[in-house]
Every structure is written in structure tokens, then in C-alpha cells.
Amino acid sequence: MLVPFGLGANPRETTDQASQLPVFNCLRDMARREEELHIRHQGQRLRSAQSFFVRRALSVQCAFLVRHLFSALTLAGLALLPACGDSWNDPYPIADRKEKLVYEFFSERPKHLDPVQSYAENEADILYQIYEPLYDYHFLKRPYTLKPQLATAMPNVRYLDAKGKLLRANAPIERIAHSVYEFHIREGVRYQPHPAFARDTQGQYLYHSLKPEDTANKHSPSDFAQTGTRELVAEDFAYAIRRLARPGLQSPTFETFKLVVGLEDLQKQLAADVKAGKIKPGEWIDLRRYPLAGVETPDAHTLRITLQGKYPQFIYWLAQTFVVPMPWEADRFFSQPGMARNNMTLDVWPVGTGPFMQQIHDPNHEIRLVRNPNWRGETYPCEGEASDKANDLLSACGKPLPMLDAISFQKETEAIPFWNKFMQGYYDQFNSSRMSLSSFDSAVRVPERGGLDVTPEMEEHGIRLQTEVEPAVRYYAFNMLDPIVGGGDSAASRDRARKLRQALSIAIDIEEQLAIFLNGLGVPAQGPVPPGLGGFKSGCAGRNPVVYDCVDGKPRRKSIDVAKKLLAEAGYPEGREAKTGAPLVLYFDGVGSPTARIDWISQQFRKLGVQLVPRMTDFNRFQDKTRTGNYQILFWGWNADYPDAENMLFLFYGKNAKSKFDGENAANYMNPDYDKLYVQLKTMDIDDPARPAVIDKMVDILRVDAPWVFGWHDESFFLRHSWLQNTKPGKIIRSYRKYQYIDAAQRDAKRREWNRPVLWPFALFVLSLLGAGWFARSQYLRHERQRARAGATS
């Protein structure tokens, strides 16, 4: 709603301000003068002429002010007429209105914009616009398809035995000691303008020898007078890989990149040098001086990476920002004394070759990206899925990218204000996976034919709807180290625990949970592999036979009677220990305070007569519990980093157990048969026709063992205004913003239409003010005439 009387004003504040206007001051002075005359001459008779002229002078002054107030208000009204079609509540600068600028939001400040340390969704929104990996995903094609980005082609991969002898591509895995990846880097790629590259006429760096006093007033790269650039070279990738082992940086993917030959040794060498006092983590460390056997740069545009063994999924990691080119000059520039004090670090100010560069970093208000004038350039794709043409996703074929001038991420912490601004046109899109929608029913409806559609109100606004089942899974994990839900050492106890987990998997009604808490958005999971990834099967062919029957060609959850039977076989008939009659009490560990969802999950256990006790704590304590295995049941989730089933199935590999190896296997699940299949899977070529059968075997083992209650795969929806074009859901594709287009003129027109100022309260206030002035003046003149007549009579 628009607020009359100016920004943030309310009627009470306006009245108080109006009482300070000159006309009110004048009338107040008249009353005070009258009182002074009355007191001064109390008991005496004033000459009527004196009284009359004093009051008359004040009356003339008031009349003069009233006339001028009326003229001023008239002129103000005329001045406001041109603005009647404008929007007074626009939160953005007027200069932005004509720009091809997308408005998005962030609710929490990005913690890490250093690609080595970053591993969060809100950070990826920024990083993938500034940095460019070797590979990216095709914007339109599904299934997700890798394409070269800073590399000129897909890599040349060779396999070597322990003696360095070249092996054939299909050599047995046990013979492969090393995999050698060779990449050719694009020529002519240049970094964004940045002071780290600035040089003087002699070629010396201008800003590499700064003293603390030189950086005292420097808070952003734009505070430096000179900038420069240079061409990307292969050594920049080598430097970036070395930074994964740098002291003082915590890389969440170091365990994966330890496959690079020599990287773990480099980490140990750097740690030893820190201990010896040769280097300091908080200061400049010239990593170029440290050799890394597994990374070579034969020439300026050739990069060679050698891995231990065979790991075909490595190519997917090269499409993420963990290994993007990092110029040593930027690392040197930000490592200088005084920089960190002013938040001048690579964790705040990225330096890349991508289509955008960061212009504003204000985590309490706005983070803004603008075009990188040095970007190499690309064109919009001309091919995709069959439906893309019908959805107008191919009309921009061949046009130069990026199509946006800037991206503005605005700070928003509450859902309702964000939603209101979206409906007023001040945000261009709404993503349900990023901010919960409290107004779901007003935005989305479920037609009789099924699926989702926008409501009539959304249609009137021209708002479009797109949906996606995300490559993610949400689950309840059982701690397999726990003697009750895990089973312990004996085969009999493990069998009892397995049946207990199966019974609970049936009893926890995921369909009901989705309907109550997520507006029905989500696909009940039949295993860990989500739709869109190789190995997923739909319908009855892909159902979990332990939990679901097949009815009318669709999976249907088994009855609670089946769960009760399994519970009795596990030794807990009606939820009580068969031998002692003691109730079965299980513990659910979570973060925060008990909520309606905790009450709901407790109710699911009560269907079997099992008591569930929630143990809620803060996030740090919760992490400690998962690390030490001090829990029974928890709720967790995983978003796929890359479009391969291995990225979900590694969550059950024994050597990834959370409590023993600090991996991502939160259930601490260990099964030798499963582990053997996993090792086989991760070494198979991605296009190997035998892979689907291996995936099926692994999923079948997990369904029977039930280390998880397989919850659901997230289903998100994306709302966008009609002026935002070239949008397609695809959670794994994070560089999509360079493809988007904004019709700024249409947006500006719609904002004016939807946010017309409401002027009648202002007009009513003016009329009330004039009426009050006229009434006060008439009453005063009437009073004066009566006094004058009374004085003349006396």
C-alpha cells in the first residue's frame, strides 16, 4: 500500500508537522498577544483603538499568510499533477529505470566469495556470474550437457600404469595408476579491469607494495585511481589448484581434489613452512614457488592435470567454481597490510573473467554486479529441447551475451515484504526454493487436470509460472552406529534393526507431510536418485518395493498394518520390547526449538506405538552430534553438485562415513557389497552402457537396508513477470543470468500502472487545512467586531 504524506509518514506525524506551519504560528501568536494584553491591563479599561489596531495588524498578517499558503499549496498541486502517473514508492534510483537491470534478493550475507572456500547457494548466485570454470552446462538442453567454456574442447584423457606406460581407454581399473587430463585454454580471454593489474610506464605494479596507511581509506577496488588487465593463461588454473592447499583457507572440496597427484604433499609442505616460520597464513604466500607434480603448464594455453587412479566424474568438478582461474596478482594485491581490516579480500571482492563484475558490496543493503567490459563474449544458443521453441526460448538465437547491464541483489529477510514488492513489480522473479511463500494460495492453484497453474490475479499481472523437480533429496537418517536403530555386531540384531527401520519407513507418511507443510510440492522419493539423473526410474518400475505397492500403475504406500507386522518381527509388538514390555523410545535430533513438524513426526511414530523424544539444539551442537555419532534419527538433505547418480550414491559409501571419516555419509552406513559396487561405479566411464545396471543393484540394496527414510525430491516453482525473458529452470546451471533479458520499458510502464500515487488524502488534508484557517480567521474577525462594538458603546 502507498503511504500518503510522503515517505514513511503517518497521519499523526503529518498533523504534528502541520502544526508548525506559519499560519498556525500566527494564530497562536494572536492568542498569546490577546492573553498578554488581557493580563497586562487586567482591571483596567483599554482604549478600543489600541486593542483594535494590535489585533488588526495580527489579522492582516494571518490573512497574508493564509493567502500565500493557499498559493503555495496550489502550486504544489500543479507540480504534482505530472507525477500522478508515477510511482512514489519506487525503492530504486530513478537512473535504474531504463537499465536492463534484474532485481533479485539475498536474505543472508554471502560468507565466502573466494571460490576455494565457497560452497553455499547464495554465494554461487554471485560467483558463477564473475568466475568462469573450464566447462559449463548447456542452458537449454536436458539431460544436462557439458560444453566447453574457458577450455576450447572436451579434455584429452590418457591412462597410465604404475610405470608410466600408456594404457588403452578400456583398461582394467586395477591397472590404471594415473589419469592424465589435458586442456587447451581459450586465447584472448582477459580479466575484468582491476587495480591488481595496474602498472606504471616502466611495467611495475602500482599497487603491490602498499603500506597500511595507503589502504586506510580503501574499501573497494573502485577507490584506486588506476586499473589494468591481462590475458588469462594456463598457469592461473595451476595457481588456483595450489590455493586449495593454502594455509588459512578451508576448502570444503579438498578431499575430492586430493586425487590430484602431489596436492596432499603440498598441503603438508605448506603446513611445515608455517610451523617453521617461513610463511604466515595471514600474509602473502607466493604459491608459484611451490611445485605441484600433478599440475603442469607446457605452454601458456595448455593445462595438464594428473589424478591418482581413475575418476571419470572429475570432469563435473571442473564445471564448478572450485577450480577457476586465479591470477596471482589478485592474491598478492589483497594480501597486503591493512586490506583485510577494510574487508578488502578475495572473500569479498572476486576477480574473474566472467560476463559480470562486482560493483557494490553492501551486505546490509545491496550487492550489485555490472557488465565486465573485458568479457570475451558468447552468443545465445540456437538449439535445445522440443518444448523450448513453444516457450519462446529460441527467439534470441545468435544474439550477443550478456543481455543484461547489471544484476542487483537486494537484502530481504522477510517473505511478506518481498512478496508485496514482487507484486508491485519491484522484483522481477520469485523462486519458491529460495524464499518460503506465505501467500501460496493467492499465487498458485492446482487445476483438476493436475499440475500447477497461476491464479487469475497472477494472470492479470502477466506473471508466468515454471516448475522443476530439483536434483535433490530430503531424508530421515538412522545412525547405523546406534545399537537400536543400527543393530550392533550380531547378524540377528542387525536383522531386527533392519525391520525396525523398514517399519518406520512405511509409517512416516511422506505424502501427508508434503501436503501439510509444503503445499503438496515435492515428489516422494523411492530411493536416493532424483528425477533428471541417470539411474532414476519413474512409475511402478522405479518404486521402492519395501515401502510401496503398485496400484493402478502407480506406487501406493503400504498400509500401517504391514509396518506393525514388521515392528513385531523386529521384537517390538505394539511398540514395546517383547521380553520386558518396556516401551520403545527413540530420539530425534534437530536444530532449533520443537515445531509443528516435530509434533507431526512424533505422531507418525505413535501410529506404531513408538515414543519419539525430540532433542533440539543449536546448529553447532547438532554438527558435533553428527560428527561423533551421538544421535539416533535426524532430518537432512543433499543437493546434487553435478548431474550424475554417483553424486547421490557416494552418500552411502563406507569410507565417507561422517563419524569415522568426516565424510558426507551422515547415516554412517557400511555395507561391503554396496561399497564394492560403488568403487566399480565411480571408475566406470559416464557413457558406459553397463552403468544403469550397477546403479539399480546399489539402489536395491539401500531400499532393503533402509539406512534412510527416503523423503522427497524438492519441487520448486518459479514466478516471473512478463518483462523477464529467457528463463528456464535448471538448478545445476548457475550461470543462467547471462542469458536473461529485461524489457525495461515494459517494466517501467507496469510499475507506473500498478503503483499510481493516491492523492485524495493529500487533497483532503489541504482542504481541511484551508477550512481550518478560514474558520479561525472568521471567528477571530467576528470576535474583534464584537469587542470593537463593545468598546464604542462604553
Mean pLDDT of 755-770: 79
* pLDDT for residue 245: 97
Residue with cell 588459512: 248
In the chain, what percentage of residues exceed pLDDT 90? 70
Q: Are 22 and 69 in contact (CB under 8 A)?
A: yes
By CB atoms closer than 10 A (0-12, 13-18, 19+), residue 617 is middle
Judged against a pLDDT cut of 50, whether residue 744 lies above it is answered with yes
How far apart are the C-alpha atoms of 82 and 759, rounded to whole Å?
A: 12
The dihedral built from the CA positions of residue 214, 215, 216 and 217, taken in this order, carries a sign that is positive
How far apart are the C-alpha atoms of 677 and 700, rounded to whole Å?
A: 12
Instruction: Give 42's pLDDT tier (boundaries 50, 70, 90).
Output: very low
How far apart are the C-alpha atoms of 254 and 266, rounded to whole Å?
A: 12
Q: Which three cell numbers stand for residue 138?
A: 548447456
Q: Are 178 and 311 in contact (CB under 8 A)?
A: no
Within a 10 A sphere around the Cβ of 336, how many other Cβ atoms? Answer: 20
Q: Where are the domains of the chain?
A: 11-89+756-793, 472-713
Judged against a pLDDT cut of 70, whether residue 449 lies above it is answered with no
Q: Are 476 and 483 in contact (CB under 8 A)?
A: no
Q: What is the pLDDT of residues 672-728, one digit of tens each?
A: 999 999 999 999 999 899 999 999 999 999 999 999 999 999 988 899 999 999 999
Of 289, 293, 295, nearest to 270 by C-alpha is 289
CA quadruple 221, 223, 229, 234: dihedral, nearest 10: -20
Instruction: Give 46's pLDDT tier (boundaries 50, 70, 90).
Output: very low
Task: Given CATH 3.10.105.10, say whether it is the number of domain 472-713.
Answer: yes
Size of the chain in residues: 794
- Which residue did the predictor score with more confidence, 28 or 707? 707
Q: Are 607 and 460 in contact (CB under 8 A)?
A: no
* pLDDT for residue 532: 85
Q: List Cβ neighbours of 740 (8 Å cut-off, separation of 6 or more).
A: 102, 403, 404, 724, 725, 726, 727
Q: What is the pLDDT of residues 169-181, one digit of tens each?
A: 889 999 999 999 9
Instruction: Determine the residue type at 224.
Output: F
Which long-range contacts (C-beta less than 8 Å, at least 24 apart) are formed by 614-618? 614/587, 614/588, 614/589, 614/590, 615/587, 615/588, 615/589, 615/590, 616/589, 616/590, 616/591, 616/592, 617/589, 617/590, 617/591, 618/591
Name the least confident of 284-298, 429-443, 706-720. Answer: 429-443
Q: Are 753 and 746 in contact (CB under 8 A)?
A: no
Q: Are 126 and 369 in contact (CB under 8 A)?
A: yes
How far apart are the C-alpha atoms of 762 and 76, rounded to whole Å?
A: 11
Q: Are 669 and 654 in contact (CB under 8 A)?
A: yes
Pairing status of strand 406-411 against strand 101-106: parallel
Q: What is the pLDDT of residues 476-529, one digit of tens each?
A: 999 999 999 999 889 999 999 999 999 999 999 999 999 998 888 899 999 999
* pLDDT for residue 121: 87
- Which residue did the predictor score with more confidence, 374 or 2? 374
Q: What is the mean pLDDT of the chain?
A: 88
Q: Looking at 154-213, which runs of residues are DSSP E strands?
A: 156-160, 166-167, 178-184
Q: What is the pLDDT of residues 597-636, one digit of tens each?
A: 999 999 999 999 999 999 999 888 988 899 899 999 999 9
N-term to C-term CA, the chain: 61
Of 668, 595, 667, 671, nearest to 635 by C-alpha is 667
Residue 684, phi then psi, degrees to nearest 5: -80, 145
Mean pLDDT of 8-14: 34
